[in-house]
Amino acid sequence: MGKENIPAGQSISIAVLFIIGSSLFMGASGQSGNSSWIAIILAMLLALPLMLIYARLHVLLPGKDLFDMLILVFGAVAGRVLSCLYIWYALHLGSLVLRNFGEFGKSVPLTSTPMLAPMLIIGLLCVWVVKGGIEVLGRSSKFLLLFTFGVIVVVQLLSIPKFQFHHLLPVLDSGWKPVFTDMMGSFTFPFAEIVVFLGAFHALPQKGSAVRILISGTLIAGVIILLVTIRNLLVLGPDLLSSLYFPSYVAVSRINIGDFLTRIEGSSAIVFVTTLFVKVSLCLYAACNGVAKVFKLSSYRSVVLQMGLIMVYFADFIYKDIMQMDYFAHHIYKIYALPFQVVIPVILWIAAEILARKKIRKQKTAQN
Tell me which DSSP letter residue 200 carries.
Answer: G
Minimal distance in Å, beta carbon 203 to other proteins?
30
Nearest CB to other proteins, comparing residues 108 and 351: 108
What distance in Å separates the CA atoms of residue 51 and residue 55, rounded to the nearest whole number?
A: 6
Nearest CB to other proteins, comparing residues 177 and 254: 254
Minimal distance in Å, beta carbon 277 to other proteins?
18
Question: Which of 199, 184, 216 lies closest to 335 in space, CA to CA?
Answer: 184
| Cβ(274)–Cβ(86) below 8 Å | no
Minimal distance in Å, beta carbon 250 to other proteins?
8
Which residues form the interface with other proteins (CB under 8 A)?
A: 107-108, 110-113, 117, 166, 169-170, 173, 237, 239-240, 243, 250, 253-254, 256, 259, 262-263
Minimal distance in Å, beta carbon 35 to other proteins?
12
Minimal distance in Å, beta carbon 110 to other proteins?
6
Nearest CB to other proteins, comparing residues 113 and 306: 113
Q: Is the dihedral of CA 213, 216, 219, 220 positive or negative?
A: negative
Question: Which of 121, 225, 232, 257 lies closest to 167 in space, CA to CA?
Answer: 232
Nearest CB to other proteins, comparing residues 199 and 308: 308
Nearest CB to other proteins, comparing residues 133 and 237: 237
For 32, phi and psi rounded to 5 degrees? -90, 10
Neighbour-count burial for 184-222, b at 16+ CB within 10 Å, e otherwise: bbbbbbbbbbbbbbbbbbbbbeeeebbbebbbbbbebbb
Nearest CB to other proteins, comparing residues 107 and 209: 107
Minimal distance in Å, beta carbon 112 to other proteins?
5
Minimal distance in Å, beta carbon 128 to other proteins?
13
Nearest CB to other proteins, comparing residues 54 and 104: 104
For 63-112, give the DSSP string: T--HHHHHHHHH-HHHHHHHHHHHHHHHHHHHHHHHHHHHHHHHHTT-TT
Question: Which of 139, 134, 146, 144 lies closest to 204 in space, CA to CA?
Answer: 134
What distance in Å separates the CA atoms of residue 268 and residue 153, rounded to the nearest whole number?
A: 11
